[in-house]
Protein backbone atom coordinates (compact mmCIF):
# COMPACT_ATOMS: atom_id res chain seq x y z
CA UNK A 1 0.00 0.00 0.00
CA UNK A 2 1.32 3.46 -0.85
CA UNK A 3 2.16 5.57 2.18
CA UNK A 4 0.56 8.98 1.46
CA UNK A 5 1.74 12.24 3.02
CA UNK A 6 -0.59 15.18 3.58
CA UNK A 7 -2.25 15.80 0.22
CA UNK A 8 -1.69 19.54 0.50
CA UNK A 9 2.08 18.96 0.63
CA UNK A 10 2.10 16.62 -2.34
CA UNK A 11 -0.45 18.32 -4.59
CA UNK A 12 1.26 21.70 -4.38
CA UNK A 13 4.86 21.69 -5.60
CA UNK A 14 6.81 23.74 -3.09
CA UNK A 15 7.94 27.23 -3.96
CA UNK A 16 11.52 26.05 -3.66
CA UNK A 17 10.94 23.47 -6.38
CA UNK A 18 9.13 25.97 -8.59
CA UNK A 19 11.97 28.45 -8.26
CA UNK A 20 14.53 25.80 -9.20
CA UNK A 21 12.79 24.51 -12.35
CA UNK A 22 12.83 27.72 -14.39
CA UNK A 23 14.42 28.85 -17.63
CA UNK A 24 16.33 26.12 -19.44
CA UNK A 25 15.46 23.57 -16.74
CA UNK A 26 11.76 23.73 -17.76
CA UNK A 27 12.58 21.89 -21.02
CA UNK A 28 11.78 18.18 -21.10
CA UNK A 29 14.95 17.43 -23.05
CA UNK A 30 18.27 18.77 -21.74
CA UNK A 31 21.12 18.90 -24.27
CA UNK A 32 24.36 18.45 -22.38
CA UNK A 33 26.45 20.63 -24.71
CA UNK A 34 24.35 23.60 -23.57
CA UNK A 35 26.37 26.29 -21.71
CA UNK A 36 24.16 25.89 -18.62
CA UNK A 37 26.10 22.68 -17.90
CA UNK A 38 29.54 24.28 -18.21
CA UNK A 39 29.89 24.74 -14.44
CA UNK A 40 29.35 21.02 -13.93
CA UNK A 41 32.09 19.75 -16.23
CA UNK A 42 35.63 18.91 -15.14
CA UNK A 43 36.78 21.47 -17.71
CA UNK A 44 34.99 23.71 -20.19
CA UNK A 45 36.21 21.36 -22.95
CA UNK A 46 34.86 18.22 -21.31
CA UNK A 47 31.64 18.23 -23.28
CA UNK A 48 29.20 15.43 -23.88
CA UNK A 49 26.68 15.66 -26.68
CA UNK A 50 24.19 13.33 -25.07
CA UNK A 51 20.75 14.47 -24.08
CA UNK A 52 18.68 13.88 -20.95
CA UNK A 53 15.10 13.00 -21.85
CA UNK A 54 12.34 13.47 -19.26
CA UNK A 55 9.43 12.98 -21.70
CA UNK A 56 8.61 9.38 -20.60
CA UNK A 57 7.78 10.50 -17.05
CA UNK A 58 4.37 11.81 -15.97
CA UNK A 59 4.28 15.46 -14.89
CA UNK A 60 4.56 15.27 -11.09
CA UNK A 61 7.36 12.70 -11.08
CA UNK A 62 9.10 14.50 -13.94
CA UNK A 63 9.36 17.66 -11.85
CA UNK A 64 10.63 15.75 -8.86
CA UNK A 65 13.34 14.05 -10.93
CA UNK A 66 14.37 17.40 -12.43
CA UNK A 67 14.51 19.04 -9.00
CA UNK A 68 16.51 16.12 -7.57
CA UNK A 69 19.07 16.35 -10.39
CA UNK A 70 19.35 20.15 -10.17
CA UNK A 71 19.95 19.85 -6.42
CA UNK A 72 22.58 17.16 -6.97
CA UNK A 73 24.38 19.32 -9.53
CA UNK A 74 24.22 22.64 -7.68
CA UNK A 75 24.40 21.63 -4.03
CA UNK A 76 26.06 18.24 -3.85
CA UNK A 77 28.85 18.61 -6.37
CA UNK A 78 28.05 15.71 -8.71
CA UNK A 79 29.67 15.85 -12.13
CA UNK A 80 27.82 15.90 -15.41
CA UNK A 81 29.17 12.75 -17.04
CA UNK A 82 30.20 10.58 -14.08
CA UNK A 83 26.87 10.79 -12.26
CA UNK A 84 24.19 12.56 -14.29
CA UNK A 85 24.79 10.75 -17.58
CA UNK A 86 26.23 7.40 -16.53
CA UNK A 87 24.11 6.74 -13.42
CA UNK A 88 20.88 8.68 -13.98
CA UNK A 89 20.10 9.44 -17.60
CA UNK A 90 21.11 6.00 -18.89
CA UNK A 91 18.70 4.43 -16.39
CA UNK A 92 15.69 6.48 -17.50
CA UNK A 93 14.31 4.12 -20.17
CA UNK A 94 13.83 1.07 -17.94
CA UNK A 95 13.15 3.28 -14.90
CA UNK A 96 10.24 5.02 -16.62
CA UNK A 97 8.90 1.65 -17.83
CA UNK A 98 8.84 0.53 -14.20
CA UNK A 99 7.00 3.64 -12.99
CA UNK A 100 4.46 3.56 -15.79
CA UNK A 101 3.66 -0.10 -15.18
CA UNK A 102 3.50 -0.24 -11.38
CA UNK A 103 2.81 3.37 -10.33
CA UNK A 104 1.02 5.18 -13.20
CA UNK A 105 -0.93 7.45 -10.82
CA UNK A 106 1.73 8.12 -8.19
CA UNK A 107 2.22 11.79 -7.33
CA UNK A 108 5.52 11.68 -5.44
CA UNK A 109 8.47 9.36 -4.83
CA UNK A 110 7.92 10.02 -1.13
CA UNK A 111 4.73 7.93 -1.39
CA UNK A 112 6.57 4.70 -2.14
CA UNK A 113 6.73 1.72 0.15
CA UNK A 114 10.34 1.37 -0.85
CA UNK A 115 11.01 -2.29 0.04
CA UNK A 116 8.02 -3.40 -2.05
CA UNK A 117 8.98 -1.06 -4.90
CA UNK A 118 12.54 -2.42 -5.02
CA UNK A 119 11.19 -5.98 -5.35
CA UNK A 120 8.86 -4.88 -8.17
CA UNK A 121 11.69 -3.10 -9.95
CA UNK A 122 13.99 -6.13 -9.65
CA UNK A 123 11.29 -8.38 -11.13
CA UNK A 124 10.98 -6.04 -14.11
CA UNK A 125 14.75 -5.93 -14.62
CA UNK A 126 14.90 -9.74 -14.58
CA UNK A 127 11.99 -9.90 -17.02
CA UNK A 128 13.94 -7.60 -19.36
CA UNK A 129 17.03 -9.80 -19.07
CA UNK A 130 19.06 -7.19 -17.18
CA UNK A 131 21.60 -7.99 -14.48
CA UNK A 132 20.58 -7.84 -10.82
CA UNK A 133 22.78 -8.59 -7.81
CA UNK A 134 22.18 -11.14 -5.06
CA UNK A 135 24.80 -9.80 -2.62
CA UNK A 136 22.86 -6.73 -1.49
CA UNK A 137 24.42 -4.44 -4.10
CA UNK A 138 21.92 -2.23 -5.93
CA UNK A 139 21.78 -1.71 -9.69
CA UNK A 140 21.80 1.87 -10.97
CA UNK A 141 18.02 1.60 -11.42
CA UNK A 142 17.40 0.47 -7.82
CA UNK A 143 19.87 3.01 -6.49
CA UNK A 144 18.14 5.84 -8.34
CA UNK A 145 14.74 4.75 -7.01
CA UNK A 146 16.06 4.56 -3.45
CA UNK A 147 17.78 7.95 -3.68
CA UNK A 148 14.65 9.65 -5.02
CA UNK A 149 12.48 8.10 -2.31
CA UNK A 150 14.81 9.15 0.52
CA UNK A 151 15.34 12.63 -0.94
CA UNK A 152 11.64 13.48 -1.24
CA UNK A 153 10.60 11.71 1.94
CA UNK A 154 12.95 14.12 3.67
CA UNK A 155 12.03 17.10 1.44
CA UNK A 156 8.34 16.94 2.39
CA UNK A 157 8.99 16.11 6.04
CA UNK A 158 8.41 19.22 8.17
CA UNK A 159 9.35 17.69 11.50
CA UNK A 160 12.34 18.83 13.52
CA UNK A 161 15.47 17.22 12.05
CA UNK A 162 16.21 15.27 15.24
CA UNK A 163 12.79 13.61 15.14
CA UNK A 164 13.52 12.03 11.78
CA UNK A 165 15.29 8.73 11.14
CA UNK A 166 17.45 10.32 8.45
CA UNK A 167 19.14 13.60 9.39
CA UNK A 168 20.47 16.14 6.93
CA UNK A 169 23.26 17.85 8.83
CA UNK A 170 22.89 20.95 6.66
CA UNK A 171 19.55 21.52 8.44
CA UNK A 172 21.03 21.26 11.95
CA UNK A 173 22.05 24.60 13.51
CA UNK A 174 25.64 24.49 14.75
CA UNK A 175 26.61 21.36 12.81
CA UNK A 176 30.18 21.47 11.53
CA UNK A 177 29.55 21.30 7.79
CA UNK A 178 32.77 21.03 5.78
CA UNK A 179 32.38 22.67 2.33
CA UNK A 180 34.37 20.05 0.38
CA UNK A 181 32.61 17.05 1.97
CA UNK A 182 29.54 15.49 0.33
CA UNK A 183 28.76 13.37 3.41
CA UNK A 184 25.87 15.10 5.15
CA UNK A 185 23.17 12.46 5.78
CA UNK A 186 22.97 10.41 8.99
CA UNK A 187 20.74 7.37 8.53
CA UNK A 188 19.34 5.68 11.65
CA UNK A 189 16.83 3.44 9.89
CA UNK A 190 18.97 0.30 10.33
CA UNK A 191 19.54 0.85 14.05
CA UNK A 192 17.42 -1.56 16.16
CA UNK A 193 14.34 0.37 17.27
CA UNK A 194 14.93 -0.39 20.98
CA UNK A 195 18.25 1.49 20.82
CA UNK A 196 17.49 4.14 18.20
CA UNK A 197 16.59 7.04 20.51
CA UNK A 198 19.67 6.43 22.64
CA UNK A 199 21.95 6.54 19.60
CA UNK A 200 20.17 9.62 18.23
CA UNK A 201 20.76 11.40 21.52
CA UNK A 202 24.45 10.51 21.40
CA UNK A 203 24.92 11.61 17.78
CA UNK A 204 23.00 14.83 18.49
CA UNK A 205 25.62 15.54 21.16
CA UNK A 206 28.42 14.83 18.66
CA UNK A 207 27.21 16.87 15.67
CA UNK A 208 27.99 20.23 17.26
CA UNK A 209 31.71 19.53 17.59
CA UNK A 210 32.53 16.74 15.13
CA UNK A 211 32.57 16.69 11.32
CA UNK A 212 29.84 14.95 9.29
CA UNK A 213 32.36 12.26 8.32
CA UNK A 214 33.24 11.54 11.95
CA UNK A 215 29.57 11.50 12.98
CA UNK A 216 28.79 9.08 10.17
CA UNK A 217 31.63 6.83 11.30
CA UNK A 218 30.41 7.02 14.93
CA UNK A 219 26.91 6.03 13.85
CA UNK A 220 28.12 3.04 11.82
CA UNK A 221 30.49 1.81 14.52
CA UNK A 222 27.86 1.90 17.26
CA UNK A 223 25.16 0.52 14.98
CA UNK A 224 27.22 -2.62 14.33
CA UNK A 225 27.55 -3.19 18.07
CA UNK A 226 23.89 -2.48 18.86
CA UNK A 227 22.76 -4.80 16.07
CA UNK A 228 24.90 -7.58 17.54
CA UNK A 229 23.54 -6.96 21.05
CA UNK A 230 19.95 -6.84 19.78
CA UNK A 231 20.36 -10.24 18.12
CA UNK A 232 21.80 -11.62 21.37
CA UNK A 233 19.33 -9.94 23.72
CA UNK A 234 16.24 -9.01 21.64
CA UNK A 235 14.28 -7.72 24.65
CA UNK A 236 16.92 -5.24 25.86
CA UNK A 237 16.03 -1.56 25.51
CA UNK A 238 19.32 -0.33 26.98
CA UNK A 239 22.82 -1.48 27.93
CA UNK A 240 22.48 -1.54 31.74
CA UNK A 241 23.20 -5.27 31.98
CA UNK A 242 26.11 -5.26 29.54
CA UNK A 243 28.99 -7.36 30.84
CA UNK A 244 32.64 -7.88 29.97
CA UNK A 245 31.68 -11.27 28.51
CA UNK A 246 29.22 -9.57 26.14
CA UNK A 247 32.02 -7.29 24.95
CA UNK A 248 34.37 -10.24 24.52
CA UNK A 249 31.74 -12.07 22.47
CA UNK A 250 31.29 -9.00 20.31
CA UNK A 251 35.05 -8.69 19.75
CA UNK A 252 35.18 -12.30 18.53
CA UNK A 253 32.33 -11.58 16.11
CA UNK A 254 33.84 -8.25 15.05
CA UNK A 255 37.31 -9.61 14.31
CA UNK A 256 35.88 -12.37 12.17
CA UNK A 257 33.43 -10.04 10.44
CA UNK A 258 36.18 -7.51 9.59
CA UNK A 259 38.98 -9.96 8.87
CA UNK A 260 39.29 -8.65 5.33
CA UNK A 261 39.68 -5.03 6.46
CA UNK A 262 42.97 -3.36 7.31
CA UNK A 263 43.87 -3.23 11.00
CA UNK A 264 43.82 0.56 11.15
CA UNK A 265 40.18 0.62 10.02
CA UNK A 266 39.25 -2.03 12.60
CA UNK A 267 40.98 0.05 15.27
CA UNK A 268 39.13 3.26 14.31
CA UNK A 269 35.73 1.59 14.62
CA UNK A 270 36.54 0.13 18.04
CA UNK A 271 37.86 3.48 19.27
CA UNK A 272 34.57 5.07 18.14
CA UNK A 273 32.68 2.42 20.12
CA UNK A 274 34.80 3.02 23.23
CA UNK A 275 34.18 6.80 22.98
CA UNK A 276 30.45 6.05 22.80
CA UNK A 277 30.64 3.99 26.01
CA UNK A 278 32.68 6.65 27.81
CA UNK A 279 30.34 9.44 26.72
CA UNK A 280 27.06 7.83 27.73
CA UNK A 281 28.64 6.93 31.09
CA UNK A 282 29.87 10.49 31.63
CA UNK A 283 26.52 11.99 30.61
CA UNK A 284 24.70 9.48 32.83
CA UNK A 285 22.35 8.03 30.22
CA UNK A 286 19.74 5.86 31.85
CA UNK A 287 20.62 3.19 29.26
CA UNK A 288 24.35 3.25 30.11
CA UNK A 289 26.01 0.05 31.42
CA UNK A 290 26.03 -0.39 35.19
CA UNK A 291 29.51 -1.89 34.97
CA UNK A 292 32.18 0.85 34.71
CA UNK A 293 33.38 1.29 31.14
CA UNK A 294 36.98 0.78 32.25
CA UNK A 295 36.01 -2.80 33.13
CA UNK A 296 34.15 -3.43 29.87
CA UNK A 297 36.58 -2.51 27.10
CA UNK A 298 40.35 -2.43 27.50
CA UNK A 299 43.18 -0.83 25.56
CA UNK A 300 44.38 -4.34 24.76
CA UNK A 301 41.11 -5.00 22.90
CA UNK A 302 42.10 -2.59 20.13
CA UNK A 303 44.16 -3.86 17.20
CA UNK A 304 47.82 -2.96 17.56
CA UNK A 305 48.59 0.54 16.30
CA UNK A 306 50.28 0.41 12.90
CA UNK A 307 52.24 3.30 11.49
CA UNK A 308 50.54 4.40 8.30
CA UNK A 309 52.34 4.01 5.00
CA UNK A 310 52.13 6.62 2.27
CA UNK A 311 49.58 4.42 0.50
CA UNK A 312 47.45 4.19 3.69
CA UNK A 313 47.42 7.97 3.94
CA UNK A 314 46.29 8.26 0.33
CA UNK A 315 43.49 5.80 1.05
CA UNK A 316 42.33 7.88 3.99
CA UNK A 317 42.41 11.01 1.83
CA UNK A 318 40.18 9.27 -0.71
CA UNK A 319 37.80 8.36 2.10
CA UNK A 320 38.04 4.59 1.64
CA UNK A 321 38.17 3.84 5.33
CA UNK A 322 35.49 6.36 6.17
CA UNK A 323 33.17 4.63 3.72
CA UNK A 324 33.86 1.16 5.11
CA UNK A 325 30.69 -0.92 4.76
CA UNK A 326 29.86 -2.85 7.91
CA UNK A 327 26.33 -4.27 8.26
So what's the pLDDT on residue 229?
Answer: 97
| Mean pLDDT of the 101-108 span | 95
Q: What is the distance between the alpha carbons of residues 149 and 109, in angstroms, rounded to a whole number?
A: 5
- Band of residue 180 on the pLDDT scale cut at 50, 70, 90: low
Q: Kindly indicate the confidence band of residue 15, based on its pLDDT and cuts at 50, 70 and 90.
A: confident
* pLDDT confidence of residue 208: 84
Least confident of 9-23, 141-155, 254-268: 9-23
> Chain-wide mean pLDDT for the chain?
83
Per DSSP, helices labelled H in the chain are 7-11, 15-20, 59-75, 92-102, 114-127, 140-155, 193-207, 212-232, 244-257, 263-282, 310-317
Determine the structural domain holding residue 172 and report its residue range.
Answer: 161-317
**What is the pLDDT averaged over residues 294-322?**
64
Which of 155, 185, 205 is the last residue before a domain boundary? 155
Task: Give the end of a domain, one of 114, 138, 155.
Answer: 155
Residues 165 and 119 in one domain: no
Q: Are residues 250 and 129 in the same domain?
A: no
**Where a domain ends, among 122, 138, 155?**
155
pLDDT tens string 227-281: 999 999 999 999 999 999 999 999 999 988 887 766 677 888 999 999 999 999 9
pLDDT at 317: 41
- My answer on whether 21 and 144 are in the same domain is yes
Amino acid sequence: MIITLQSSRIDLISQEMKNAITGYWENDIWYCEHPIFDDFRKTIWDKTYQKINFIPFQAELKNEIKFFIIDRLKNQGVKLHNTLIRNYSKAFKHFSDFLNRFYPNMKSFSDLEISKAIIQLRSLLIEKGLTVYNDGKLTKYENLLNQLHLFFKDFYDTRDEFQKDIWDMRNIPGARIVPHESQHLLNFTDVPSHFRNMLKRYIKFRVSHRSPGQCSLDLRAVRVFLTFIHKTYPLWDGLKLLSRKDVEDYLVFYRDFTKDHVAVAQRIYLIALRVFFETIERLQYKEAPQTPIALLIFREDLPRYIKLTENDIKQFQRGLFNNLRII
